A and B are shown apart, each in its own frame.
Chain A
Amino acid sequence: MMLTGAEIIIECLIREGVKVVFGYPGGAILPTYDAFYKYRNQVHHVLVRHEQGASHMADGFARATGQVGVCIATSGPGATNLVTGLATAMMDSSPIVAITGQVPRAAIGSDAFQETDVTGVTLPVTKHNYLVTDIHELAYVIKEAFYIARSGRPGPVLIDVPKDIQNEKMDFVYPEEPVRLPGYNPPAGATEQDVQDALELINNAKKPIILAGHGVMMSGAMQQLRELAERAGIPVTLTLLGKGAMPEDHPLTVGMMGMHGAAACNYAIQEADLLIALGMRFDDRVTGNLKTYSPNSKKIHVDIDPSEINKNVKVEVGIAGDLRTVLSQVLPGVKSNSHPQWVGQIRDWLEDGNERDILNNYTGTKLLGAQVINDLWRYTGGEAITVTDVGQHQMLEAQYYPHRRPSTMLTSGGLGTMGFGFPAAIGAKFGMPHEEVWAIVGDGGFQMTMCELATAVQENVNINIAVLNNAYLGMVRQWQEFFYDERYQSTPMVNPDFVKLAEAFGIPAMRVTSRDQMAESVAFARNHQGPVLIEYVIEKEEIVYPMVPAGADLHNMIRRPKPGEKEGATA
């Protein structure tokens, strides 16, 4: 069948099961857009308003579904606008394939119009990338790209396709043979010795704790994790991206660890005699000061990426492997056990945290971010897919919106990309059309990508946008309050009227200023098919507690004072 390179691209996307792509046309990718016209009944193209939005949408789609998300852009500025989204996906191991147009082969290197060395620019922020130089390679490259993106430790892969290759024709036969890459062999399971070493530690620990990360969900090891925790009686803490790995209402789930994690988790990690780290990578936001991190524990670390083992934290048992496979190997040897004293100690710490919780102590009248999130949880039954941006509202979501199901809390953890939340929520909704999707964003981050409101309207995406507006870059303001003597340089924001703004896009909107409107606001959002925006005008100077200052010991958190205690007391 004689096909153009552009048609081959789309034939290959269809073979990979792609039904929706997010993109923006331009000169060097136009032949492919013409092919999208031909295939418009098989692949739906979502026109974004900025290519960054396309990459975040592909990412949100991938995180919600576990499938590869696809974004597409033209050469030069189109491609460079994808970079933030690629870096975001790279840091959080999200499988996306980006296809970019490139100037014709003959023009490469000549500083042609809209020419950028895109494979050079994206090399450090992709798992792999390709510049296609021969139409006969095109189908193989696309097949490899999808395979690399979704296998092993997932990540973004970029394919740069010169315009003349998109136009060229060849007699096309889809390569049916499986991908064979000599230098790419993601690890499978653990060795028998690894399993025995891990069991020795697990079965003899007195104060064990599990640290569950994103990898639990990516390998589909939720059931195995739960079995391990329940059989051995081991409490489970979650990373930010690990939320959903274990139901948060499970009695053994302690909460989130790290900089703004539950104090009980951090104390437990510091006190433990065994850390079982599963599909997480000991990010600095999780460990605090490495020199004092969990000083008395032996450590087991299971991760699909061998380069993560012993990178930040030295471990006694390091297993590079697929988590579900490894846990399935380990589980038969795990002895039934319980640690009532240890679990009781953690419960005491949790109780202390509850006493300090602002929701149990607040006497003011202004609406709090914590209240908004907690009420969104209440009125959505804790069942929504929430997609956050980055900042205080993100940490409040992690603290006050417990998730029961995997992959229902999507957030930019590693890169901390402001502007991620709203477009990623659009992508998530395309992936999970029957789920209730809420974009939970701050006023700062929302304004970075709010041009996608037009995309949401054009596609009539049925999502709810909760803008928590404190007229500050709240998290930066919090750091300025704590560490820069309250010099609020460049953090107060003069914002647009978000309700009028939404209405200008044709989006129903509502402003909420007090807690008694919360139920009404959720009902309002649910009553409209299509995008809805709700602006929550919240307390301007709310602080997210607890907080491990950057580089501080994990147990040296700044805690919210108990009633009657002095402000800013450190536990």
Chain B
Amino acid sequence: MSEHGAHSSKHTLIALVENKPGVLNRVASLFRRRNFNVDSLTVGRTHKPHISRMTIVVDTQRTSARIVAANLKKLINIIDVNIVSEHPHVSRDLALIKVRTDDVDSRNAVTEVCDRYPARIVDIGTKVAIVEITAQEDIVESLIEDLRPIGIVELVRTGVVAMGRGIRIMDTDYEPPVRVAAQNGLERYGV
């Protein structure tokens, strides 16, 4: 149940990575080097301090998602990779959209557009307002197109995060070794 259309060449991958310096650089370098086409890449911490999680949307017209996943798996610091878009999943993109609201018409128009979306106005003044939306990527894009005629002056998106539905759990048993320095017996080393 891909959220993208049947003919879309986009795939969403999830990577569990060791929370170490330079891992994002390794992933970015891999995509550049292999000429993989990245739509978006997000990274954040998980409920385990030593594990970070990346959501990567790739255009797989040129290279299959499986090749991308196999290459990601080759990186030593990547613990697991899953092509989440091959299975039922939930994906969300967050956008903050600053629009012109310097007259009554534009203010009314923004309110009216936002009512049709799971969007809300989180800041409003006499010149501009900020609209926030958290939704599937295509819905976010639709909102942006509806706001465009009113006058978008600034826009930021987080990129897609995704999670498989149901009991399909993406997790790892990995615990970093506790390395006790022999010197003083106190210092602990995470990964």
Contact = CB atoms under 8 A, between A and B. Distances in A.
Interface stretch (B69-77, B123-131, B137-145): B69-77
Contact of A310 (B25, B64, B78, B80): B64
Nearest to A157: B76
A119 interface: yes
Given A137-B189, A307-B70, A171 B29 contact: no
A173 B182 contact: yes
A181 B76 contact: yes
Interface string A134-157: 101100100000001000000000
Nearest to A120: B25
A15 interface: no
Contact of A170 (B17, B74, B77, B182): B182
A305 interface: yes
Interface string A171-186: 1110000001111100
A562 interface: no
A170 B183 contact: yes
A128 B23 CA distance: 11
A119 B29 CA distance: 12
A124 B183 contact: no
Contacts of A140: 179
Contacts of A307: 67, 70-71, 73-74
A238 B33 CA distance: 29
Interface string B168-180: 0000101001010
Describe B's contact surface by its main secondary structure: mixed
B179 A136 contact: yes
A414 interface: no
Contact of B172 (A173, A181, A182): A182
A184 B76 contact: yes
A183 B70 contact: no
Contact of B76 (A137, A148, A172, A311): A148
B38 interface: no
B182 A123 contact: no
Contacts of B189: 134, 136-137
**Residue among B17, B76, B77 with most chain A CB within 10 A:** B76
A123 B29 contact: yes
A104 interface: no
A145 to B, nearest CB: 10
A173 B182 CA distance: 7
B79 interface: yes
Given A119-B22, A134-B189, A171 B183 contact: yes
B182 A182 contact: no
Interface in A284-326: 305-307, 309-311
Contacts, number: 56
A171 B182 contact: yes
A136 B188 CA distance: 10
A181 B20 CA distance: 13
Contacts of B177: 180
A124 B187 contact: no
B76 A170 contact: no
Interface residues of A, number: 27
Nearest to B177: A180
Contacts of B6: none
B89 interface: no
B73 A306 contact: yes
A318 to B, nearest CB: 10
Contact of B70 (A134, A181, A184, A306): A306
B87 interface: no
B181 to A, nearest CB: 5
Nearest to A148: B76
Contacts of A311: 67
Nearest to B180: A136
Contacts of B75: 183
A183 B18 contact: yes
Contacts of B174: 182
Contacts of B187: 136
B74 A305 contact: yes
B76 to A, nearest CB: 5
Interface string B14-34: 000110001001100100010
A271 to B, nearest CB: 29
A128 B22 CA distance: 11
B66 interface: yes
A157 to B, nearest CB: 9
Contacts of B18: 182-183
A119 B67 CA distance: 25
A172 B182 contact: yes
A159 to B, nearest CB: 13
Contacts of A183: 17-18, 73, 75-80
A128 B67 contact: no
Interface in B43-101: 64, 66-67, 70-71, 73-80
A310 B66 contact: yes
B175 to A, nearest CB: 9
B80 A124 contact: no
B76 A128 contact: yes
Nearest to B189: A136
A498 B78 CA distance: 51
Nearest to B30: A124
A172 B17 CA distance: 30
A314 to B, nearest CB: 10
Contacts of A131: 22
Given A136-B189, A171-B182, A123 B71 contact: no
B25 A123 contact: yes
Contacts of B26: 123
A309 B76 CA distance: 19
A131 B174 CA distance: 22
Nearest to A136: B181
A124 B76 contact: no
Give 10 nearest A-B pairs by CB, closest first: A307-B70, A182-B174, A183-B79, A306-B70, A171-B182, A128-B76, A182-B79, A136-B181, A171-B183, A307-B71
24 contacts: A120-B25, A123-B25, A123-B26, A136-B183, A136-B187, A137-B179, A137-B189, A170-B181, A171-B182, A171-B183, A172-B182, A173-B182, A181-B76, A183-B17, A183-B76, A183-B77, A183-B78, A183-B80, A184-B76, A305-B74, A306-B73, A307-B67, A307-B73, A307-B74
Given A136-B179, A182-B174, 20 more contacts: A119-B22, A123-B25, A123-B26, A123-B29, A131-B22, A136-B181, A170-B181, A170-B182, A170-B183, A172-B182, A181-B76, A182-B79, A183-B77, A183-B79, A183-B80, A305-B74, A307-B67, A307-B73, A307-B74, A310-B64
